[in-house]
Chains A and B, each alone.
Chain A
Amino acid sequence: MRSYKHRLFLAGLALLGVLGGLFAYTQQQKPLDPYEEAMRQRQMYLETFGVLPGELYAEEGKELFFRKGPSGKTLEECDFGLGKGKLQGAYAVLPKYFPDSRRVEDLESRVYTCMQTVQGFKPAQIKRDEVKAITTYIASFSSKAKMQVVPKHPQELALYNLGRELWYHRAGARDMSCAVCHDQYAGQRVRLSPVRSPKQGLGSEWPAYRFEADKLYTMEDRIAFCYESIAIPAPAFYSEPYIALTLYMLAEATKAGKSFEELPFFTR
């Protein structure tokens, strides 16, 4: 019942988004500034529904966070980077090394790990949508937080170096790498979309609701989207390439003193 209502609500929102988009596209003479367009849409959602879609995902994530797993435990028993039960600001220090799993994890893979090791779920029982919602809930405690990703542990340094290597790795039928777009040509546009570099704060928006897709995107979803758009099949979720790239990008953004946006963000 609840989820049915939720879906209806989202469908209504999507329709509004499409209509809004159509209106905007037929009215335009000059290209729209996509950022302004997102802010306009956000305002429309707020005025019509009094709530943003991202908040609904966070709400769902909260319920799942306090749901008992097969072991009888909730995710309150999981350390998300600042110690058990501490969520305030935790997202801003990730990815980092976790002694219990002995690997570097971003928030999404950490949720996935704890659902297994703490809550006793089997990998096949863990739904991607649930991990996304829980990630959104936890990240909302780092809304507008200053990024604090500073690799120190040897494994963090190793993953930072891996991330940098992936960043420059040119492959696929479109000869692309992250760096050619997000460093060399940062500040330019692909079609109408402006592209940022890590030093300009790349990655500060996720998790976010993308009205163009009518979906919630985490950082891993967003990286997957770029891989697919450059003819490279996206890596499996929770795998090292995502964690390494995220660590690299957010460490660079941290050096430049960047902060996260309002999380979950609302974007194009």
Chain B
Amino acid sequence: MKRRTLLVMGLLLGLGLSQVNPFRARLEAALHGGGHEFARVMLAQDKGQALCSQYRDRLPPDLVPQFLAEQKALIKYPKDGKLLGDWKNGEKVFTDPKRGNCYACHAGDPKEVAFGTMGPSLTGYGQRGTSEPVVRYTYEKIYNAWAFVPCSLMYRGGVHGLFTPEETADLVAYLLDPASPINRR
């Protein structure tokens, strides 16, 4: 008798905890309807992606400081600590559609005419010099764009492993090295 009551209570508690709101349940059903792989990727949102979706990419101001801090914590650095790498390799990563794919949204080398306009032009980015704060900002921005602009269109290439910390440093050099085509006149 007592055991049965406990069991029932346990079941009710479990039900209460696993209660998802009906809209969420409906959404998940639709995602599963799209197939296993589609559902898997769509449901594997991390906390940042979930917040950006929930707030339609406009986070309420009181959530911003913690969001930025959490994104900053995701940034990893090269083992040798050098944030300014090899611009020539950086150019490859910048151009490669599978890795940087930066021309999708940014202008870079003035010789490349097929550039997107969703992001600001990066031509002449090296005018900012190579002081420690400029290098550090550029590195962190490329590794995790959301550590500065919550829910930016620009994806978090480093966080998702599209390029390694060393390759991020190469990208930084591609933007900042005076010899890079981005900065040549």
Residues of A within 8 A of B (CB): 28-31, 158, 161-162, 165-166, 168-177, 179-181, 184-185, 188-192, 195, 227, 231-236, 239-242, 244
Is the pair A168, B57 in contact by a Cβ cutoff of 8 Å? yes
Identify A181's interface contact among B29, B33, B153, CB under 8 A: B153
Min C-beta distance of A98 to chain B, whole Å: 17
Identify B153's interface contact among A185, A192, A235, A236, CB under 8 A: A185
Is the pair B160, A235 in contact by a Cβ cutoff of 8 Å? no
Identify B160's interface contact among A161, A175, A180, CB under 8 A: A175
* A179 and B34 alpha carbons, distance in the complex (Å): 19
Identify A189's interface contact among B29, B41, B57, B116, CB under 8 A: B116
B125-166 vs A, CB cutoff 8 Å, 1 = contact: the mask equals 000000000000000000000100001010110001110000
Q: Contacts of B30 on A, CB cut-off 8 Å?
A: 162, 166, 239-241, 244
Is the pair B49, A175 in contact by a Cβ cutoff of 8 Å? yes
Interface size on B, residues (CB 8 A): 37
With contacts A170-B53, A189-B117, A232-B42 known, is A165 near B27, CB below 8 A? yes
Is the pair A188, B117 in contact by a Cβ cutoff of 8 Å? yes
* A138 and B86 alpha carbons, distance in the complex (Å): 56
Q: Contacts of A190 on B, CB cut-off 8 Å?
A: 104-105, 116, 118
* A244 and B44 alpha carbons, distance in the complex (Å): 20
Q: Contacts of A231 on B, CB cut-off 8 Å?
A: 41
Is the pair A169, B53 in contact by a Cβ cutoff of 8 Å? yes
* A234 and B53 alpha carbons, distance in the complex (Å): 19
B16-39 vs A, CB cutoff 8 Å, 1 = contact: the mask equals 000000010011011101110110
* A240 and B31 alpha carbons, distance in the complex (Å): 8
* A139 and B118 alpha carbons, distance in the complex (Å): 33
* A195 and B116 alpha carbons, distance in the complex (Å): 10
Is the pair B33, A171 in contact by a Cβ cutoff of 8 Å? no
Q: Contacts of A188 on B, CB cut-off 8 Å?
A: 116-118
Min C-beta distance of A185 to chain B, whole Å: 5
Min C-beta distance of A172 to chain B, whole Å: 5
Sampled A-B contacts (8; CB under 8 Å): A166-B27, A173-B155, A173-B160, A173-B161, A188-B116, A236-B38, A241-B33, A241-B34
Min C-beta distance of A196 to chain B, whole Å: 13
**Is there a chain A Cβ closer than 8 Å to B64's Cβ?**
no
* A77 and B28 alpha carbons, distance in the complex (Å): 34
**Is there a chain A Cβ closer than 8 Å to B114's Cβ?**
yes
Min C-beta distance of B43 to chain A, whole Å: 8
The 5 closest A-B pairs by CB, nearest first: A235-B34, A233-B37, A175-B155, A173-B160, A236-B35
B window 29-84: CB within 8 A of A? 29-31, 33-35, 37-38, 41-42, 44-45, 49, 52-53, 56-57
